[in-house]
Structure 1
């Protein structure tokens, strides 16, 4: 979980003093990976570092108050009775103006241990590579300095339709890090009264016209209430260009769409970049089951060079 200064600021404004807990290092089998984080305040928390005794201890210490960052090293089995058997290093630090001010670039780096000297060379290299190459740096604790990637949306997901499946998709995808979600339908009354945090809701009388303004690398999920609107969106997105695109529907619907899109002048190779159906049909047709299948695919395609190749080929399901 990257360092999200905007979200931390919002939590502090809503709840008062907030302490951030981040997994700064792991060894062996552990509940979460390095970079997992949570925010803790007097009467609540958000996120998780892995349930059980470790998280309970972290919450207790966070609520006890911090004058300075605190680094904890815990062997999960011997010290906490957890069966994972690995070891975890946690950093607890109060969210204050100085910490938020540091999160302006690609990486937020700061000393978290008493007596830490100048920024280590390894951290300096991470900062330089992140700036030069735009790659997300790993979370790393080096010589008393903690470095983390700053939260930036890495993928644009456009969801066309706010019906049952659209709502299920937004509910499943919106908590995931690194996704910028734009949610489109034909009117404001189509959306829930309170959309999830961070989702951009866009009412558009003619969504197909809006498609021309979507980023060309965006990933689209087309699932409106109207087959005619679905077809118009597929046509518009093929003309605009996209990273990936998926269309809800049956094999029969897709066969008809292929013929119609071909008649609109689109080449078979381009039409084949649209995936239909979306998700995992073996999971069933329940909206949440479709959403789980689509989310699984989106997460899988976010990993490694093979995923980038699939993205260029337009596979979303």
Structure 2
């Protein structure tokens, strides 16, 4: 599902939440003096895109930067920002704005699935029921077309080119390699081992297959510590089972053990009481004519 950068904030918000993409809703609560937009204006910010506008200019750029810092830092509590446009944003209009930033964490886990065969399809069907995001790759055009028709709302489908580096992997992806071609599997493992922000690597196949891969990869300069990070065979709980759904269930259970647990040790309380008092005053204030 593609979202245009001209999409109204409300449509973008609905689609991003359905996709499980982390984002921040930025709402203009109060204005005083000359300002580009009126209270109630909103925009949505992700790490890569923005949707709708609060009027442009430096104040908007500052708020986008603040929202992206919240996403990068994993902040989960909303915050209130008050800006003087002339002093803090270097804008000619001399008004003041109060803005609420509400972060939405998105999916709790990112999976990169390489292979859209029988097991890959069964696994994607399982993963789409979880609050995770999946990037699904295959080098065969026909398999990509079929996968695109079956993909869930939080799954993106890509055709895998000859050079894996042509594809930007999402940071902290848990990678599962199960293509139709052993040589393609080996090229992918070699590529993934060189990526600094990969969360985990799993490879479908037998211990014999991995022993052959490991021998050749070690000859290419990979250390034992790097090679030990590859899990093969995967789906140990499904060993002895042959059905694609059984193997997929074992892989999903293994991925579940790698998923983050409850991140918060304290209950989220939202805005501080002082900020709530400020918002109440701002919303109740009758603006005096200048």
- Which TM-score band applies after superposition, normalised by the shorter structure? 0.5 to 0.7
1:167 is aligned to 2:121: yes
Q: 1:300 aligns with which of 229, 233, 257?
A: 257
1:183 is aligned to 2:136: yes
Deviations 1:46-93 (A, max 9, x none): xxxxxxxxxxxxxxxxxxxxxxxxxxxxxxxxxxxxxxxxxxxxxxxx
How many corresponding residue pairs?
186
User: C-alpha separation between the residues in 1 aligned to 2:71 and 2:237?
Assistant: 42
Residue 259 of structure 1 is matched in structure 2 by: 215
Deviations 1:10-47 (A, max 9, x none): 99xxxxxxxxxxxxxxxxxxxxxxxxxxxxxxxxxxxx
Q: 1:231 aligns with which of 160, 174, 186?
A: 186
User: C-alpha separation between the residues in 1 aligned to 2:71 and 2:136?
Assistant: 31
User: C-alpha separation between the residues in 2 aligned to 1:158 and 1:165?
Assistant: 14
* Residues 103 and 210 of structure 1, relative CA distance in 2, 3 Å threshold: closer
Instruction: Using structure 1 for the length normalisation, give the TM-score.
Output: 0.49
* Residues 207 and 293 of structure 1, relative CA distance in 2, 3 Å threshold: farther
User: C-alpha separation between the residues in 2 aligned to 1:236 and 1:278?
Assistant: 19
Deviations 1:257-294 (A, max 9, x none): 11011011100110110100111344523211121112
Question: 1:1-317 residue pairs with structure 2 within 5 A?
Answer: 8=14, 134=74, 136=76, 150=104, 152-177=106-131, 179-191=132-144, 192=146, 194-196=149-151, 197-206=153-162, 208-210=164-166, 213-241=168-196, 242-282=198-238, 284-304=241-261
Contact persistence 2:205–2:233 (CA under 8 A):
yes
Greater C-alpha radius of gyration = 2
Residue 67 of structure 1 is matched in structure 2 by: none
User: C-alpha separation between the residues in 2 aligned to 1:150 and 1:303?
Assistant: 17
Contact persistence 2:119–2:244 (CA under 8 A):
yes
User: C-alpha separation between the residues in 1 aligned to 2:172 and 2:237?
Assistant: 26
* Residues 269 and 9 of structure 1, relative CA distance in 2, 3 Å threshold: closer
User: C-alpha separation between the residues in 1 aligned to 2:175 and 2:253?
Assistant: 15
C-alpha RMSD of matched pairs (Å):
3.9
**1:190: how far off?**
0.9
Contact persistence 2:119–2:247 (CA under 8 A):
yes
**1:152: how far off?**
0.9
**1:305: how far off?**
8.6
* Gaps in structure 2 of 5+ consecutive residues: 1-9, 18-41, 47-69, 78-101, 264-290
Contact persistence 1:159–1:182 (CA under 8 A):
yes
* Residues 288 and 267 of structure 1, relative CA distance in 2, 3 Å threshold: same
User: C-alpha separation between the residues in 1 aligned to 2:252 and 2:128?
Assistant: 10
User: C-alpha separation between the residues in 1 aligned to 2:11 and 2:258?
Assistant: 26
User: SS in structure 1 opposite 2:110?
Assistant: strand
User: SS in structure 1 opposite 2:194?
Assistant: helix
User: SS in structure 2 opposite 1:239?
Assistant: coil
Instruction: Using structure 2 for the length normalisation, give the TM-score.
Output: 0.53
